[in-house]
Amino acid sequence: MRFHRRSLSLALVLAPLCMMAYQSLVGCRSAAVPQWQPASNGIKPQSDIVFVSISPLDPQTLFLGTYEPGGLHFSTDGGTSWQRCNGGLPEVTVLSLAHHPTDPLTLLVGTVHGVYKSTDGGNTWTPVPVLPRTYVYALAWAPDGGAIYAGTEGQGAYVSTDDGLSWGPTGPEGSSILSLAVAPSGTVYAGTAGQGIWVSDGGGSHWRAVPELHGTFVPNLAVTVARTVWGLADGKLYVSHDDGETWQLAGPDGFEGRSVAVDTLAGEVIYAGGRAEGMVISFDGGQTWEMVEDGLPDTNFTCLAVDRTEPHTAYLGTKGSGLFKTTDGGRTWFPISDDVGRRVITALVQDPQRSQTLYAGTLHGVYKSQDSGQRWTLVSGESGELYVQALAVDPEDHQTIYAGTDGGVNVSHDGGATWEWASEDLGSITIFCLTIDPENHDTVYAGSWGNNALRTLDGGSSWAPIHHGLETLSVYSFAVSPVDPQVLYAGTVEAIYKSTDGGESWTILLSLRESITTFALLIDPTDSSAIYAGTTDGVYCSADGGESWTPMREGMEEVTVTTLAGDPENGVLYAGTEHHGLFLWDGAGEHWTRWGFEDTSVYAIVIDEVTGDLWVGTEEGVFSWEP
Angle at 420 between CA 418 and CA 424, to 5 degrees: 170
Q: What integer pLDDT is reported at residue 25 of this predicted model?
A: 32
Q: What integer pLDDT is reported at residue 172 of this predicted model?
A: 84
Q: What integer pLDDT is reported at residue 176 of this predicted model?
A: 94
Of the candidates 68, 65, 21, the one whose C-alpha atom is nearest the C-alpha of residue 45 is 68
Give domain limits for the chain.
Answer: 19-44+342-625, 48-253, 254-340
Q: What integer pLDDT is reported at residue 23 of this predicted model?
A: 38
Residue 145's CB: how many other CB atoms inside 10 A?
13
Q: What is the dihedral of CA 240, 246, 251, 253, to 10 degrees?
A: -170
Task: Give the whole-angstrom CA distance, residue 504 versus residue 297.
Answer: 42
Is the separation of the CB atoms in 126 and 117 below 8 Å? Answer: yes
What is the CATH code for 48-253?
Answer: 2.130.10.10
Of the candidates 575, 486, 583, 480, the one whose C-alpha atom is nearest the C-alpha of residue 531 is 480
Q: CA-CA distances (angstroms) from residue 214 to 5, 31, 60, 208, 247?
A: 39, 63, 39, 11, 12
Q: Please state the three-class secondary structure of 76-95 as a single string.
A: CCCCCCCEECCECCCCCCEE
Task: Give the whole-angstrom CA distance, residue 99 versus residue 101.
Answer: 6
Pairing of strands 168-170, 177-182: unpaired
pTM of the model: 0.77
Pairing of strands 248-249, 488-492: unpaired
Q: What integer pLDDT is reported at residue 277 of this predicted model?
A: 63
Task: Give the whole-angstrom CA distance, residue 197 versus residue 262.
Answer: 18
CA 129 to chain centre: 32
Low-confidence residues of the chain: pLDDT under 70: 1-31, 276-277, 568-570, 587-589
Task: Give the whole-angstrom CA distance, residue 451 versus residue 408.
Answer: 11
Q: What integer pLDDT is reported at residue 300 of this predicted model?
A: 85
Count, in order, helices (H) and strands (E) of the chain: 1, 56
Q: What integer pLDDT is reported at residue 520 of this predicted model?
A: 97
Which three-class secondary structure state does DSSP give residue 136? strand
Q: What integer pLDDT is reported at residue 512 of this predicted model?
A: 80
Do 19-44+342-625 and 48-253 show the same overall fold?
yes
Task: Give the whole-angstrom CA distance, residue 534 versus residue 88.
Answer: 38
What is the CATH code for 19-44+342-625?
Answer: 2.130.10.10
